[in-house]
């Protein structure tokens, strides 16, 4: 789950699809959620940089850019995240009713897959690393200009489930 720590420190995300009738309203809600990720975000919190490691302080600077059903978030997190450069691509998929995407960067080699759903102000996603490790990412908006990001998963060294990333972000 080592890769999930870096995925999360990096992660912010989401959107794909047009529909008709009720499906269109759902697509609009989901694409609106993803559109909120556009712009500059900064924040701080805690991240575990390796399995068995204690949480350490991190600061992140991210930029979201997208339109329609997709958004790309890129940037860096320092401190315990060790200047991790990240790129997250997300899109709303009307056929699956999910937000799907990828994560590259940080300590993760290769590409991790993201898949999840939006409910109200919260996006909950499963994170699957290239080596098959899994975790969960929860992004919650607390108003129009603030959000929290939490990533949890199994720590193979410490055993059990741990919080890999817990970051509060502000827009602007």
Structure tokens at 137: 């990412």
CATH number of the domain enclosing 67:
2.40.128.20
Is the pLDDT reported for residue 21 higher than 60? no
Does residue 53 belong to any structural domain of this protein? no
User: For the residues 70-79, what does the mean pLDDT come to?
Assistant: 93
Q: How many domains does the chain have?
A: 1
Does residue 112 belong to any structural domain of this protein? yes
For the chain, what's the residue count?
A: 172
What per-residue string of b and e applies to 96-131 under the rule 16 or more CB within 10 Å gives b?
eebbbbebbbbbbeebbbbebebeeeebebebbbee
User: For the residues 80-101, what does the mean pLDDT come to?
Assistant: 90
Structural domain containing residue 21: 2-47+59-171
DSSP structural state of residue 126: E
Does residue 8 belong to any structural domain of this protein? yes
What is the reported pTM? 0.80
Is the pLDDT reported for residue 16 higher than 90? no
Counting beta carbons within 10 angstroms of the beta carbon of residue 160, is it exposed (0 to 12), middle (13 to 18) or buried (19 or more)? exposed
The single residue listed with the structure tokens 């995407």 is 101
pLDDT band at 171 (very low <50, low <70, confident <90, very high): very high
Tens digits of residue pLDDT in 101-160 = 998 876 667 788 999 999 999 999 999 988 888 899 999 999 889 999 999 988 777 778
Tens digits of residue pLDDT in 26-72 = 568 889 999 999 999 999 999 988 888 889 999 999 999 998 899 99
Structure tokens at 14: 């989401």
Q: Is the separation of the CB atoms in 148 and 169 below 8 Å?
A: yes
Can you say how many angstroms the Cα of residue 101 is from the centroid of all Cα atoms in its chain?
9
Half-sphere exposure at residue 105, Cβ-oriented, CA atoms within 13 angstroms: 22
Does residue 114 belong to any structural domain of this protein? yes
User: For the residues 4-18, what does the mean pLDDT come to?
Assistant: 34
Does residue 154 belong to any structural domain of this protein? yes
pLDDT band at 23 (very low <50, low <70, confident <90, very high): very low
Does residue 54 belong to any structural domain of this protein? no
């Amino acid at each position: 789950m080592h890769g999930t720590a870096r995925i999360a420190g990096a992660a912010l995300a989401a959107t794909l699809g047009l529909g008709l009738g009720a499906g269109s309203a759902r697509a609009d809600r989901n694409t609106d959620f993803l559109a909120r990720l556009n712009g500059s975000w900064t924040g701080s919190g805690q991240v575990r940089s390796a399995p068995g490691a204690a949480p350490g302080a991190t600061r992140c600077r991210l930029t979201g850019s997208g339109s329609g059903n997709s958004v790309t978030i890129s940037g860096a997190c320092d401190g315990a995240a060790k200047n991790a450069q990240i790129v997250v691509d997300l899109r709303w998929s009307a056929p699956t009713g999910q937000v799907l995407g990828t994560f590259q960067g940080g300590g993760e080699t290769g590409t991790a897959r993201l898949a999840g759903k939006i409910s109200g102000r919260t996006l909950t996603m499963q994170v699957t690393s290239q080596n098959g490790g899994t975790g969960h990412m929860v992004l919650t908006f607390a108003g129009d200009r603030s959000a929290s990001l939490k990533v949890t998963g199994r720590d193979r060294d410490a055993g059990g489930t741990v919080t890999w990333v817990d970051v509060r972000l502000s827009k602007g």
